[in-house]
Amino acid sequence: MRVLVVSQYFWPEVFRVNEIVSELSARGHEVTVLTGRPNYPGGQVFDDYAANPAAFAQYHGAEVIRLPLRPRGHGSLRLLLNYWSFVFWGCLLGPWKLRGRRFDAIFCFETSPITSALPAVLLRRLKRAPLLLWVLDLWPDTLSAVGMVKSERGLNAVGALVRFIYKRCDLILAQSRGFFPAIERWSNAPAKTRYFPQWGEAAFDGDLDDVAEAPELAPHAGRFKLMFAGNIGDAQDFPALLDAAEATRHRSDIHWLIVGDGRQASWVREQIQARSLQDTVFMLGRHPLERMPEFFKGADALIVSLKAEPIFAMTIPGKVSAYLSAGRPILAMLDGEGSRVISEAGAGLAAPAGDAAALAGQALALVATPITERQAMGVRARAYARREFDRATLITQLETWLREVSR
């Protein structure tokens, strides 16, 4: 098949769409990617790309076509301009760069923002090719949950845009079954919604026993290491995480480690100083995905958290599948689907979203859990990941859907 992938984010940025492209290419499909200049999450165009854009024009046999995307930068205005620049250049230049080409199907990777699907909608019409949209972030629900849009009129306007996009999709893939009611509310077409969860990235396919522990963890040797890895943003509820860490500060044997970066990173650093948590909470910075197994190897438990909002209760955070694949106990502070998966897997302990006291209690309970039981949690986690979130199985299912709509 000839497949066009439309995604605002793509390699060398780290997203699961990269693995979809490489796997489809490896299976013999002719894949073309329409994307922007890489700038996530730092907000500036990657130095390697800026120095030699031609080196990033192919990815595992797929052709990569770049749009002159405005970098995210810092601040809400720059972020808004980043979002709309992909729409503008995708609709204006996308058809021109793809002129004369035919496709059997279009696949759109939709994490925030939903507007990134608009070029795919236009190309569906121009190319007369069916469109599959993978919904990883529900709009307008997420905008309301994080406070980006507060007025009812504004949320309804975004909802109208979502309805416009959903109605022009041939299949809508939901990362969680909890997404179905919200998607069907706007699409008004339940029959075209499918369940397509996220999987653990290929970096976690191996056994952590074969990996050397990250040298950055050496100062924390002998401590019980609770590790958060990933985006440091509003949705992750760092105020509650820091409250939980503060409640365990009397335990010098417990270290809370934060590996990653994001829009709230500066605030977290300030709070560590303001709360005098320098001996309890440690920020280890952002590191490439390929190095994450080194960090997970030294973690006694991996932390996942989301704010107490209805939208987040519908979500299975992408890091849950990665954590399960890594085979480490999970310490969670979230509701709904994510909490259900961890409980169903027997992979760790969970507290309700936003409940810092409960999270602190579960952290202490995990420290007191015999190491043999924590190891068993890790074994159960990997088994569940292989059963429910196997990458090859899921991409085979995606192939089936692509063929289905292309006929």
CA angle 21, 183, 112 (to 5 degrees): 50
Strands 58-59 and 62-67: antiparallel
Q: Which of 129-143, 262-276, 327-341 has the lowest mean pLDDT?
A: 129-143
Six token digits for residue 316:
């299975």
Quick count: other Cβ atoms within 10 Å of Cβ 206?
A: 12
C-alpha to C-alpha distance for 383 and 342, rounded to whole angstroms: 12
d(CA 334, CA 380): 20
Q: Reply yes or no on whether the pLDDT at 144 is more than 80.
A: no
pLDDT value of position 267 = 95
Whether 2-199+390-406 shares its CATH topology with 202-388 is answered: yes
For the chain, give the percent of residues with pLDDT over 70.
Answer: 98
Provide the edge-to-edge strand list for the sheet that holds 193-195: 58-59, 62-67, 30-36, 2-6, 105-110, 131-135, 171-174, 193-195
**pLDDT tens for residues 29-86?**
999 999 999 998 888 999 999 999 999 999 999 999 999 999 988 777 888 898 899 9
Q: Return the pLDDT at 157.
A: 83
CATH number given to 2-199+390-406 = 3.40.50.2000
In the DSSP assignment, the letter for residue 97 is: H
Angle of helix 118-127 relative to helix 152-167, nearest 10 degrees, comes to 30
Residue 166 confidence (pLDDT) = 96
Angle formed at CA 245 by CA 358 and CA 331, multiple of 5 degrees: 55
Domain map of the chain by residue range? 2-199+390-406, 202-388
Region 119-123: mean pLDDT is: 97
| pTM of structure | 0.86
Query: What is the phi/psi pair of residue 112, to 5°?
Result: -50, 135
DSSP-derived secondary structure letter, 172:
E
Say if residues 197 and 318 touch (Cβ distance below 8 Å).
Answer: no
Architecture of the domain spanning 202-388: 3-Layer(aba) Sandwich (3.40)
| AA letter at 212 | A
Residues found in the chain: 407
Is the predicted pLDDT of residue 363 greater than 80, yes or no?
yes
Q: Using CA atoms, how far apart are residues 178 and 154, in angstroms rounded to an integer? A: 24
311 pLDDT above the threshold of 90? no
CB of 170 within 8 A of CB of 194? Answer: no
Tens digits of residue pLDDT in 263-304: 899 999 999 999 999 999 999 999 998 999 999 999 999 999
Tally the C-alpha atoms within 13 A of residue 65's C-alpha that lie toward its C-beta.
Answer: 18
pLDDT of amino acid 271: 96
